[in-house]
Structure 1
Amino acid sequence: MSLIQLHNEQDWNLVKDQKKRIIVMKNSTTCPVSHEAFKEYQKFAEGHENETIYYLNVQDSRPLSNALAEQTGIKHESPQVLILEGDDVVWHASHWNITNKKLVSALDQTKA
């Protein structure tokens, strides 16, 4: 599994500059809904070892979370998953809509 934590905008800029599909989750470390969504996200990551999958904890990385909302134009929610192709968000979901099944389906739909 390739699940990598992002901590700040410098981390994000390195990822974004690679110009490949980006899958990132905004996770709250204190919210039970986020906890369940993160377990689904981990299950998804385990089944997609060929993908590099990112996450950030909003309590630890608030400036990065805010920057993602500003750069993507997608209102911040937590938990939230974004799939980006270049600078475009091609799929996003939040709260109970973050499931392994929905993530697999979204990935299949967004593959070029």
Structure 2
Amino acid sequence: MNWIRLNSSEDLERIKEESRENLVMIFKHSTRCSISDMALNRLERSWSDQEMVNIKPYYLDLIQNRNVSNEVAEVFNVRHESPQVLIIKDGEAVYNDSHMGINYSTIKDFAKN
């Protein structure tokens, strides 16, 4: 899985623009949380670049980038959770889920549409 790092407000602005052409997924990960590790591992094991050509995966280490994580919650009007996945389309969050609700099949369904 080829993650693109989300480390700054500038990256967040780029994501909003990119989402006008392609879906963007943001995975918010806490490196201190075993549930977050499990959700990340499940997603990475299931991920297929061939199935997900229409979605760009971004990875946010929220421990190192807490301010960016807070900005994600504010910009996309979602409650902060960890781990958390968001699907961004046309600059808006069209889907978000957290913890064990993070599901590859659901994300794949967004990529098909």
Same fold (TM over 0.5): yes
Q: Counterpart in 1 of 2:42?
A: 40
The residue aligned with 1:16 is 16
Q: So what's the TM-score if we normalise by structure 1?
A: 0.84
Q: Superposed, which structure 2 residues align to 1:49-60 within 5 Å?
A: 49=50, 50=53, 51-60=55-64
Identity across the alignment (%):
31
Describe the superposition over 1:63-105 as per-residue Cα deviations: whole angstroms up to 9, x where unpaired: 110111001111000000001111222211101112xxx2223
TM-score of the two chains, using structure 2 as the length reference:
0.84
Which residue number in structure 1 is paired with residue 109 of structure 2?
Answer: 108
Specify the code of the residue in structure 2 equivalent to 1:11: D
- Aligned residue type for 2:35: V
Number of equivalences: 108
Residue 107 to residue 35, structure 1, CA distance change in 2 (3 Å): same
Secondary structure in structure 2 of the residue aligned to 1:17:
helix
CA contact (8 A) 1:90 1:110 kept: no
Which SS does the other structure have where 1:48 is aligned? coil
> What stretches of structure 1 of length at least 5 have no aligned partner?
none
- Gaps of at least 5 residues in structure 2 are none
- Name the stretch that deviates more: 70-79 or 8-17: 8-17
Distance 2:5 2:43 in 1: 13
